[in-house]
Amino acid sequence: MAEQNSVIVKPLPSNNKSKGDRNEINIQAAFPGSPIYKGEITDAERKKTFQELVMDGTVLNGNGLNSFSRDYEGAPNLEEVETGGGGLPSSPYTPNLVSPGPGSVSAIDQIEYTGELPDKDLRNNFGTGKGGLVSPSETSSELSKTTILKAYISGRSYLGSDGKA
């Protein structure tokens, strides 16, 4: 975890070094219209605005999606993913591995994959935590509680995401 906050609006005090140090008077003179120097924005205001505009709520009509929940509402339960042919995945973890056949590029023409898939209970994914097989419906509610501009737990997405308390 970081031991000091990152600079958002208010810079760290000058060290008065001869080279490589900021000259606050010159910077303010060069950017007199900056909202930073007019006192219109602060670290607290930026954190609040970021949380509201980036981390919380639902985006409507953006980036080709009708809506997107930043709070991960409706995250899928991988145990309930329908598999098979006609464009459905081979498993909750893989797309359909079958070619749609000669002359077609449509997923609708895919038949159900009947080959062998790895046993999910025998998989050993690299890394720490609950692993890549945990369902988004289990992790999303905890992720939605986090804020990007706060102290994080090193090596974890959230408290308990490593499978421990």
pLDDT single digits (tens) 68-119: 888 778 888 888 999 999 999 999 888 999 999 999 999 999 999 999 988 7
For residue range 31-67, what is the model confidence (pLDDT) as tens digits?
Answer: 999 998 888 898 888 888 888 888 888 888 877 778 8
pLDDT of residue 100: 94
Local confidence band at 151 (pLDDT 50, 70, 90 cut-offs): low
Is 139's pLDDT higher than 90?
no
Contact 145, 158 (CB under 8 A): yes
Q: Give dist(CA 112, CA 123) in Å, integer.
A: 23
Is 122's pLDDT higher than 90?
no
Local confidence band at 1 (pLDDT 50, 70, 90 cut-offs): very low
